[in-house]
């Protein structure tokens, strides 16, 4: 990846066909290369690695939800553990989507979303100049009582087929604008679809074959908040799953 960035739009570039605006058909600067590599490492590796830890923590505390998730894996993928996972399989894992969304709502990987205003505007009763940097506290939005029914409750059903009932009426009305898992607008995470595929495949490969238990059910979720929320310690027992 680093090599492809360094050689992009140079005589050493192996990509003959370009799909970009004219102003982008130039070699990348060191700053641009650094930014892209950093985004790839943080957005494509660290987030998923840490989120898997958070998944193990929450599923360890909610065994009935873990069992329901595994039942969906078995129903969609069958009993053959060697069968390749298809895109059709992933699209059918609706409860898996709901579980990961609810875990993210309680423990978001990215708790701040930054934006820079391109024109002067009035926000919150104040006048802000063009070029002002705004930091939105996503973790507060994800637990706000105006947007979520019983916001402190852990329940994946708030994301599962919510259109079929009015149990989670707030979520039905406001979910589109209150769940910024991958940001929003034209600056939304470009790798969001790949991240979802990666996450689902990992969960399938792990939980269909292994039983994961927390060593200490009373231990708190240990993490630090840097650029993203990073799990610092999670002790688990991993055993072959009994069928």
User: What is the residue whose two structure tokens read 């599962």?
Assistant: 160
Indicate the helix (H) or strand (E) that contains 210: strand 210-214
189 is in an annotated binding site: yes
3-state secondary structure of 94: helix
Contact between residue 17 and residue 76 where contact means Cβ atoms under 8 Å apart: no
Nearest-10 crossing angle of helices 47-61, 94-106: 100
In sequence order, which residues have a C-beta less than 8 Å from that of residue 217 and are 6 or more positions away?
Answer: 60, 61
What is the secondary structure of 35-67 as a DSSP string?
Answer: HHHHHHHIIIIIHHHHHHHHHHHHHHH-HHHHH
Cα 136 from Cα 149, distance rounded (Å) = 21
**Alpha helix stretches (DSSP H) within the chain:** 2-7, 30-41, 47-61, 63-77, 87-92, 94-106, 138-141, 169-178, 192-207
Phi, psi of 184 (to 5 degrees): -175, 165
Cα 167 from Cα 10, distance rounded (Å) = 57
- Residues in binding site for heme: 189
Q: Residue positions in the annotated binding site?
A: 189
């Amino acid at each position: 990846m680093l090599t492809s960035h360094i050689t992009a739009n140079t005589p050493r570039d192996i990509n003959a066909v370009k799909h970009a605006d004219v102003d982008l058909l130039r070699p990348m600067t060191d700053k641009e290369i650094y930014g892209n590599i950093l985004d790839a490492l943080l957005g494509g590796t660290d987030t998923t690695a840490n989120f898997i830890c958070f998944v193990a923590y929450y599923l360890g505390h909610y065994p009935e939800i873990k069992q329901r998730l595994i039942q969906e894996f078995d129903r969609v993928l069958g009993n053959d553990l060697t069968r390749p996972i298809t895109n059709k399989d992933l699209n059918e894992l609706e409860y898996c989507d709901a579980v990961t969304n609810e875990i993210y709502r309680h423990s978001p990987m990215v708790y701040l979303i930054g934006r820079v205003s391109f024109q002067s505007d009035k926000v919150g009763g104040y006048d802000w100049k063009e070029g002002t940097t705004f930091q939105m506290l996503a973790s507060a939005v994800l637990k706000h009582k105006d947007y979520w029914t019983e916001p402190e409750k852990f329940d994946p059903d708030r994301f599962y087929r919510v259109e079929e009932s009015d149990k989670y009426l707030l979520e039905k009305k406001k979910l589109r604008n209150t769940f910024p898992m991958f940001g929003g607008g034209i600056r939304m995470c470009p790798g969001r679809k790949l991240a979802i595929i990666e996450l689902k495949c990992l969960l399938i490969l792990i939980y269909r074959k292994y039983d994961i238990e927390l060593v200490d059910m009373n231990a708190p979720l240990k993490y630090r908040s840097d650029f993203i929320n990073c799990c610092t310690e999670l002790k688990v027992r991993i055993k072959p799953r009994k069928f």
